[in-house]
């Protein structure tokens, strides 16, 4: 695995984004370093959540800080090997994704979720999330299963962003040639 400080944001259509991530086996200092790097990238790109596949690491970890503010580390949340226990209601909100620059989409999701996960101390915790936290954890959780938010919208919506997706695909080809 790459050292933590070599991790970089991966953009669509990087295949790692469509890969189902593997469970974390040990919570150790190397994982803590990757998590730190994920928060740093997230703040730099002005996001509020980031999943490990988005930095090229196919492991079941995501981070959230709804404030998006590096000066509010008390709001940082780390979810290792998360499981969604319960989901209820339904609501529509506009979402973005750091792996899809400039694309925003209305996505329908359950309004509240109960999520269980391990923290960096190795302890299991459960939270009931609603509002933006519920939205954010569901979006990040999807990343661990290789599900991208563009797959959560109607065909009509996807056709509307087809040009932007093509543009991202073109930029990826330029990078690799």
Catalytic choice (140, 167, 169, 174): 140
64 binds Zn ion (CB under 5 A): no
Query: In terms of CB distance, is 31 or 105 closer to Zn ion?
Result: 105
Q: From the centroid of its chain, how far is CA 127? A: 18
- Give the nearest residue (CB) to Zn ion: 97
Task: Output phi, psi for 88, to 5 deg.
Answer: -145, 155
Tokens of 92: 């529509």
**In the complex, minimum distance from the CB of residue 38 to Zn ion, in angstroms, rounded to a whole number:** 12
Q: From the centroid of its chain, how far is CA 43? A: 13
Identify whether the C-beta of residue 69 lies closer than 8 Å to the C-beta of residue 41.
no
Cα four-point dihedral sign 177, 99, 153, 165: negative
Please report where in the chains the tokens 């994920």 appear, as a residue: 38
Site string for Zn ion, 95-134 (x = CB under 5 A): --x-------------------------------------
**In the complex, minimum distance from the CB of residue 97 to Zn ion, in angstroms, rounded to a whole number:** 3
Question: Is 94 noted as a catalytic residue in this protein?
Answer: no
Active-site residues: which are they?
A: 140
Name the residues that contact Zn ion, by CB under 5 A. Answer: 97
């Amino acid at each position: 695995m790459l050292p933590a400080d070599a991790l970089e944001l991966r953009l669509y259509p990087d295949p790692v984004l469509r890969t189902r991530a593997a469970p974390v086996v040990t919570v150790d200092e190397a994982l803590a370093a990757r998590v730190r790097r994920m928060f740093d990238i997230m703040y730099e790109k002005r996001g509020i959540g980031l999943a490990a596949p988005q930095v090229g690491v196919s492991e079941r970890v995501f981070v959230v800080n709804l404030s998006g503010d590096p000066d509010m580390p008390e709001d940082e949340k780390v979810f290792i090997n998360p499981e969604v226990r319960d989901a209820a209601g339904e609501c529509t909100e506009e979402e973005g994704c750091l792996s899809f620059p400039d694309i925003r989409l209305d996505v329908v999701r359950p309004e509240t979720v109960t999520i269980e996960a391990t923290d960096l101390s190795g302890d299991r915790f459960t939270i009931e999330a609603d509002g933006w936290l519920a939205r954010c954890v569901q979006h990040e959780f999807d990343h661990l299963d290789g599900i991208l938010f563009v797959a959560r919208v109607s065909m009509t919506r996807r056709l509307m962003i087809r040009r932007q997706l093509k543009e991202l695909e073109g930029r990826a080809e330029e990078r690799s040639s």
